[in-house]
Amino acid sequence: PFRKQHSDLDVPLPENLDDDSYLRILRANLPELLERTEPDLVIYNAGVDPFKDDPLGKLNLTWEGLQARDQYVLECCLNVGVPVGCVIGGGYSKDHEELAWRHSLVHRAAAKIYQDRFSITPFRSSPAVA
C-alpha cells in the first residue's frame, strides 16, 4: 500500500534486506514482543513477498531465509508455550508452482519442528485406496 497503517510495533526495514540482516532484526524484536504482550494465541501470517524474486516485495530473502524465518517464529512461540496458527499470504509470482512452493515453506517448517519435538518419522504418503 502507498500508506501503511501503524501497529503496536512497527519495525522499519530497509529495501533489499538480506537473510542475515532480516533474521537479526527478527531475533531482536520477537522475544521481547512475546514477553511484553503475553498472547494466548499467535496468528502468524507467513507472507512470502519478502522473497528476492517477488515483483512487489522490496526485500531480498532467499528460500533459506524464508524457511529460517518461519522456523524461528514457530519455535520462539512454542518455547514460551504459545500456540501458533499459520496462514499464508503475499507472493506475486506469475509462476504459480513456484509460488505454491514458497507458501509451503511454513508448513514444512512446522512439520520439521513437530517431527523433532515428538521424535516421529517424517509423514508418509497414505496407501492407495482400491
The pLDDT tens digits for 53-104 are 998 889 999 999 999 999 999 999 999 999 999 999 988 888 999 999 999 9
How high is the pLDDT of residue 99? 92
- Structural domain boundaries enclosing 52: 19-118
Q: For the whole model, what pTM was predicted?
A: 0.86
Give domain status of residue 9, yes or no: no
Give domain status of residue 47, yes or no: yes
User: CB of 29 within 8 A of CB of 9?
Assistant: yes
Rounded Cα distance between 107 and 3, Å, is 31
Rounded Cα distance between 68 and 29, Å, is 16
Give domain status of residue 54, yes or no: yes
* Cβ count near 54 (within 10 Å): 20
C-alpha cell at 119: 521424535
Give domain status of residue 76, yes or no: yes
Q: Is 81 left (phi over 0), alpha (psi -120 to 50) or beta?
A: left
Average of pLDDT values for 32-61?
A: 94
Instruction: Place 25 in a pLDDT band, splitting at 50, 70 and 90.
Output: very high
The pLDDT tens digits for 7-21 are 878 899 999 999 999
Give domain status of residue 39, yes or no: yes
For 42, the 3-state DSSP assignment is strand
How high is the pLDDT of residue 8? 76
Count of structural domains, the chain: 1
How high is the pLDDT of residue 118? 83
Average of pLDDT values for 9-35?
A: 95
Give the largest CA-CA distance in the chain.
55
